[in-house]
Amino acid sequence: MTDNPVNTEPESMTIIAFSGDLDKLWPTMILSSTAAANGMDVTVFYTFWGLFPLVKDDVRITGYDAMTKMLAGMNAPGMKKAKLSKMEMGGMGHWMMRKVAKKNNLMPPEDLFEMAKDMGVHMWPCQMTMDLLGIEPDQMVDGLGEPVGAATALKKMANSNISLFI
Amino acid sequence: MSDPKTTVDAKGQTCPMPVLMTAKAAKELASGETMLIEATDNGARSDIPAWVEQTGNELVESSEDGGVMRFLVRKK
């Protein structure tokens, strides 16, 4: 049997979810849910482009003026609409990746997100990004924590055994 | 050896599902009770023992037969 290469026993993990790309959402959801399964206290802080995936699927446009609305349109809010960061090929990339994932029984990030929430992972939206992009609390998915700022996220990271920026 | 209290059928499931299903099943166990985890994902070969170590439970025995890995785990 393979030895576990991890010789410390982390009890807390914080992930800064900065990217809204599909290829980054997968590791965020896999690591956060698995860490919770390992009995760790897990927090994911969603900031900048990472906040768009938390917008409900039926909300197409967020923002308070022409430019923030245009940014929302370009970034396709909602986890199901997340694109690949590379070789997206006008929509082909994420479509193919999801198809390959399904064929190999890898759960989509939106399902892993729900599992992570069920397992007690704290999901913190970034207040500043919400204000910046004009994303309203009622436009975001259920089960999120109170919006917080960088200092709160840093305090959590300072007390975490593992901190990741994805 | 006494029969496991529950069996986790994670065959066909891929990372991270075998571990998530195992953790979920463990919540239903009382201390000292055992569960049998069955998995086919190659990652589970190291992931289930890693989960056991991380959570302080006990890997009673493990085996592999015809592509199916079996882990007997006792809750601490």
For chain B, positions 11-70, list CB contacts with chain A under 8 A. 12-17, 19-20, 22-24, 45-46, 49-51, 53-55, 59, 62
Return the sign of the alpha-carbon dihedral for residues A152, A156, A159, A164. negative
**pLDDT confidence of residue A5:** 54
pLDDT at A23: 96
**Which residues of chain B are modeled with pLDDT < 50?**
none
Counting the structural domains of chain A, the total is 1
Which H or E run includes B22?
Answer: helix B17-27
- Of A118, A121, A101, A119, nearest to A109 by C-alpha is A101
Q: What is the pLDDT of residue B15?
A: 94
Domain that holds residue A158: 12-165
- Is B46 in contact with A2 (Cβ distance < 8 A)? yes
Contacts of A61 (CB under 8 A, 6+ apart): A69, A72, A73, A77
At residue A1, the pLDDT reads: 44
Instruction: For chains A and B, count residue pairs whose Cβ atoms are closer than 8 Å.
Output: 50
Q: 3.30.110.40, 3.90.1820.10, 3.90.700.10, 3.55.40.20: which CATH number matches B6-74?
A: 3.30.110.40
pTM for this one? 0.89
Beta bridge partners of A19: none
Residues in chain A with pLDDT values less than 70: 1-10
pLDDT at A92: 94
Q: Where are the beta strands (DSSP E) in A11-125?
A: 12-17, 41-46, 122-125
